[in-house]
Amino acid sequence: MRGRIIRCLLLISILLLPVGGEQADAVNELRHQDMNELIIKISENINTGLDAVERENEKSAKALSDETLSSDNISEILNKKVAAIPFAHSSLVIEPSGLVTAAAPGEYESLIGMYLNDSAVTTANAEKKPVLSDIFLLSEGFYGVSLSYPIFSQENEYLKYTDVTFRPEEFLRQYILPLIEQQRYDIMIVQSDGLIVYESNEEEIGRDALTDPLYSDTTVHQAAVNITSLESGITSYQFWNKNWDKSVPREAVWDTLTFDNQEWRIVIIHDIDESQPDNTLSNGKTGNPVQDLNSSISSLNEFVNNATEFARETGQKEACSVFNNLSGPYISGDRYIFAYDMKGNALALPYQPGFIGKNRMNLTDVNGFAILPSMIDLAREGGGSLYFVYPNPSENFTPMLKFFKINPVDENWFIASGIFLPQIQASIPQQSLTDLFSRVRNATLHVDDVGKEQALVDFNDVNGSYADGGNYIFAYDYDGTTLALPHQPELIGTDRSGYTDQFDSPIINLEINAAKRDGGYVYVVYDNPDTGKNELKLCYVRPAGEDWFVGSGIYTGQNLE
């Protein structure tokens, strides 16, 4: 059954929290209209995306109904399907017994011969019709959603099914972010059973809104009950604001998107009190504009090194108390010390106290960069520097590019600080991110089609389609040996594991670590073959085999010097 949007003609107002007077006074009819219109647009976008996936699934299912197909034929069908679907993670063919008989791309062929018995598999086989699964935890450690389609014989006998699995945040961003990036709203998509499929704060994906301790406050829990039990409505509650710097009254408006058997509540949330956050830099301290980046980095290194010595001398508890003190010695404008343990739990985060004690391993920046895993990797390797986009408290938490220095305190926790670079535009258009993801994924599918040896020849052909100026494909093995670098052929075969860019960010090692996590993004400063200049570049990498990976990038056209 194709998707449909349930539009509420009459909103159900559920006023739970009397905050500073009559709650109705805080409810603006125009705001509700705007929020509902936004829900309709987002729902239509998502429905269009899911419908496109289902059409590709249907085509592959019809092709796979031929029981005389060879394994190569089946792989070709699956690879073609994955290539046609933006942000597809993988595709499987699964028997009624749960046996996996085919998988694409090639890095998932290890699943062939395994028996899967999770709810997504059992439901798809039981229903024998298209099914959009509940969100579930993949073996790689992140959450996924599968859309399945049944395969019938020529005699209309049910044989098995094929699916497409995607990470919900990667798939849904392309339909959501273009609509909300200029808004002050948060968005949440939640199943009717309470599991969160998507959240503006992507750390919350996979949590249960009904049972997770994060939402244990009475008003938050009641709001979750209202959202999951009713198809549409309005509810109010008290929770951390959009920036997680103070607790405020919030309002949620929702409606329901249905697709196949699945119901997703599309929830738009805004802070009723939109006055300036308590913990912005309105305390008399001003930000530190970056004039000379090299000297600023030198000053940052000294700042973090001094804080590291202090932390080692005083211990975690006392040091974090000082780091969290907005009037303390380790806060100077938008330069401040923050701390995490090696499991990703926030220990010190002075401008966003709502996150202290919370695990943030799922934290990504606006472009999808995995923040905590990357910082932890660097800390475990002795420290280092990297870049990503983060909210600037001196600019009302506007996301800006930031250069970070990370130091381990001991084997259990690390500290870091950074410099905002407001002159560098690092938010990448969603279509460019989609194109980058597809370019790299299609390179892995090319490896499946022709094999590693021929694929590397093709990637290194400077006149070929895989070396299209700044959109070229590169490849390394997990030891750092260069396998493909079409515009720098003299580096083929060399070990670049210790290579750092001009600001000492160990970019090859960061890419290796991201690939080992089943793929991800890395910011680098690297030579652009189209301009001949060192420019900021967002790379995406993913494994192409058991011991090597491929990648490509988007140059921003901006030099950090």
Residues 195 and 251 in one domain: yes
Examine the fold and report which residue of 238, 271, 304 is the final residue of a domain before the chain moves on: 271
Q: Do residues 168 and 197 make contact, with C-beta atoms less than 8 angstroms apart?
A: yes
Examine the fold and report which residue of 389, 420, 451 is the final residue of a domain before the chain moves on: 420
Residues 307 and 389 in one domain: yes
- CATH number of the domain at 436, please: 3.30.450.20
Q: Is residue 280 part of a domain?
A: no
| Distance of alpha carbon 548 from alpha carbon 312, whole angstroms | 38
Would you call 116 exposed, middle or buried from its count of C-beta atoms within 10 A (0-12, 13-18, 19+)?
middle
| Distance of alpha carbon 289 from alpha carbon 291, whole angstroms | 6
Beta strands in 7-117 (DSSP E): 13-14, 91-94, 100-104
DSSP result, 349-376? -TT-GGGTT-B-TT-B-TT--BHHHHHH
Q: Is residue 143 part of a domain?
A: yes
Residues 394 and 463 in one domain: no
| Distance of alpha carbon 279 from alpha carbon 275, whole angstroms | 12
Residues 329 and 397 in one domain: yes
Q: Do residues 305 and 313 make contact, with C-beta atoms less than 8 angstroms apart?
A: no
Q: Do residues 507 and 385 make contact, with C-beta atoms less than 8 angstroms apart?
A: no
Q: Give residue 404's identity as a one-letter amino acid code.
A: F
Q: Is residue 329 part of a domain?
A: yes
- Which has the closest alpha carbon to 289: 420, 424, 426? 420
* Model pLDDT, residue 528: 92
**Crossing angle of helices 29-64/168-180, nearest 10°?**
140
| Chain center to CA of 528 | 26
| Distance of alpha carbon 314 from alpha carbon 95, whole angstroms | 59
Residues 27 and 69 in one domain: no
Residues 54 and 162 in one domain: yes
Examine the fold and report which residue of 143, 167, 191 is the final residue of a domain before the chain moves on: 167
| Distance of alpha carbon 162 from alpha carbon 151, whole angstroms | 7
| Distance of alpha carbon 166 from alpha carbon 346, whole angstroms | 28
| Distance of alpha carbon 93 from alpha carbon 101, whole angstroms | 6
Q: Order of strands, edge to edge, in the sheet holding 413-420?
A: 346-348, 338-341, 413-420, 398-408, 384-392
Q: How many angstroms separate the Cα of 274 from the Cα of each of 98, 184, 259, 277, 366? A: 51, 9, 35, 8, 22
The total number of structural domains in the chain stands at 4
Residues 401 and 442 in one domain: no
Tokens of 104: 């694409």
- Which has the closest alpha carbon to 361: 105, 193, 140? 140
CA atoms within 13 A on the CB side of 106: 22
Residues 256 and 356 in one domain: no
Residues 308 and 232 in one domain: no
* Model pLDDT, residue 423: 72
pLDDT tens string for the chain (561 positions)?
444 444 443 343 443 444 444 444 444 688 889 999 999 999 999 999 999 999 999 999 999 999 899 999 999 999 999 999 988 999 999 999 999 999 999 888 889 999 998 899 999 999 999 999 999 998 778 899 999 999 999 899 999 999 999 999 999 988 998 888 767 899 999 999 999 999 988 889 999 999 999 898 999 999 999 999 999 999 999 998 877 888 899 999 999 999 998 999 999 999 886 554 445 444 434 444 445 778 888 999 999 999 999 999 999 999 999 999 999 999 987 789 999 999 999 999 999 999 999 999 988 988 889 999 999 999 999 999 999 998 887 787 778 899 999 999 999 999 999 998 877 777 788 889 989 999 999 999 999 999 999 999 999 999 999 999 999 999 999 999 999 999 999 999 999 999 999 889 999 999 999 999 989 999 999 999 999 888 999 999 999 988 999 999 999 887 766
Residues 160 and 211 in one domain: no
Beta strands in 167-207 (DSSP E): 186-191, 196-199
Q: Do residues 346 and 340 make contact, with C-beta atoms less than 8 angstroms apart?
A: yes
Q: Do residues 45 and 176 make contact, with C-beta atoms less than 8 angstroms apart?
A: yes
Q: Do residues 57 and 149 make contact, with C-beta atoms less than 8 angstroms apart?
A: yes
Q: Is residue 317 part of a domain?
A: yes
| Distance of alpha carbon 101 from alpha carbon 84, whole angstroms | 21
Q: Is residue 282 part of a domain?
A: no
Decide: helix, strand or coil at residue 12: coil
Domain range for 509: 430-555
- Which has the closest alpha carbon to 16: 209, 188, 273, 226? 226
Helices (H), 412-557: 430-450, 452-459, 507-516
Q: What is the DSSP letter of 27?
A: -
Q: Do residues 185 and 116 make contact, with C-beta atoms less than 8 angstroms apart?
A: no
| Distance of alpha carbon 275 from alpha carbon 392, whole angstroms | 17
* Model pLDDT, residue 182: 67
Q: Is residue 561 part of a domain?
A: no
pLDDT in tens, 494-519: 999 999 998 899 999 999 999 999 89
| Distance of alpha carbon 339 from alpha carbon 463, whole angstroms | 47
- Which has the closest alpha carbon to 480: 447, 515, 504? 515
13-14 and 233-240 as β-strands: parallel, antiparallel, unpaired? parallel
pLDDT in tens, 232-279: 999 999 998 877 888 899 999 999 999 998 999 999 999 886 554 445
* Model pLDDT, residue 348: 97
Q: Is residue 287 part of a domain?
A: no
Residues 465 and 537 in one domain: yes
Tokens of 112: 């062939």
Q: How many residues does the chain have?
A: 561
Q: Is residue 254 part of a domain?
A: yes
* Model pLDDT, residue 116: 93
Residues 63 and 161 in one domain: yes
